[in-house]
Amino acid sequence: MIESTQVDDWVIPPGEYSKSSSVSKVAGTREEIVLLFGMNRAWHAGQKEVKVQLTDRTVLSPFAAKRLAVLVNNVVRDYESRYGALEIESRRSTEGPGS
């Protein structure tokens, strides 16, 4: 018999699973915020076009998205205080004019 798993105050029922994502994108309208997650497909350094396979789409209310943003910021801040700063570049900052 498969039993539920307890993580903090959350119960993860049998059949639930974890997924990994190497790419994420966020979009929104007045009514919803959409989180898109996917995996790079055959990505190589210097490649002009990267193919991404969308694996998950999560739709949140703006209020739920704001709460999630606060939680994620707190976790990243704690991570960086333990392991050091994470240096990232946004795609926009690496694109030239007219890209």
Question: pLDDT tier at 96 (50, 70, 90 boundaries)?
Answer: very low
What's residue 38's pLDDT?
92
Domain assignment present for residue 3? The answer is: no
Q: Across residues 65-82, what is the average pLDDT?
A: 97
The length of the chain, given as a count of residues: 99
Q: Which residue has the higher pLDDT, 30 or 46?
A: 30
For residue 97, pLDDT over 70 is answered with no
Q: What is the mean pLDDT of the chain?
A: 82
Domain count, the chain: 1
**What residues make up the domain containing 28?**
21-86
Domain assignment present for residue 51? The answer is: yes
Q: Across residues 28-35, what is the average pLDDT?
A: 97
What's residue 8's pLDDT?
72
Domain assignment present for residue 61? The answer is: yes
Domain assignment present for residue 50? The answer is: yes
User: Which tokens is 90 given?
Assistant: 């946004």
Q: How many C-alpha atoms does 33 have within 13 Å on its Cβ side?
A: 13
Q: How many CB atoms lie within 10 A of CB 33?
A: 19
